[in-house]
Amino acid sequence: MSGNLIYVSGPSGSGKDSLLRYAREQLSGHAEICFAHRYITRPADAGGENHVALSPEEFAARSNSDLFALNWASNGLQYGIGAEIDHWLDKGMTVVMNGSREYLPQARTLYPSLVPVEIAVPQAVLRERLLARGRETVEQVEQRLQRNHLLEQRAGKVEIIRNDGDLEQAGEALVSLILRCAEPS
């Protein structure tokens, strides 16, 4: 494969979806850059990222038919990245995807040259954001924060984008990284 795969991950509440939406809007005129949709077993109107909603049965059928290049389970849901990314990579495109930090080691095995990017925020900011959205109890938020700390320690070498200030500043950092990866070598 001659293209580049940019694997964006980070804890829930870090602002991944907002940053990916920002980058997609800023780079919409770049034909050599594609943003992969995730296929997820959650309703389309669940909020957050623009994704393709699948029932658990439909997800299993697609998985059994090898229609996912990458797929994993997290927080009671199934996530997949369509096999179309392999076609895009073969055409030399830069593909940006929303991944899972927990699945990163498997993704690195399948795509050894992928560029891992972590959206990072301080624990205090993350706690505040998670509590503000009101989806989880205080205990569940604390469990997420503990999991985040463990995953940060296991990440290995990754590009870090800090998202604890202005969204535009972190968004421009992501756009810049994507553009650098898309440059012909």
Residue numbers in the known binding site for ATP are: 10-17
152-163 core/surface letters (b: 16 or more CB in 10 A; e: else): beebeebbebeb
**Which residue type occupies 118?**
E
SS3 126: helix
Binding-site residues sit at: 10-17
User: Among 47, 53, 40, 46, which Cα is nearest to 21's?
Assistant: 47
Burial class, 84, CB count within 10 angstroms (exposed 0-12 / middle 13-18 / buried 19+): middle
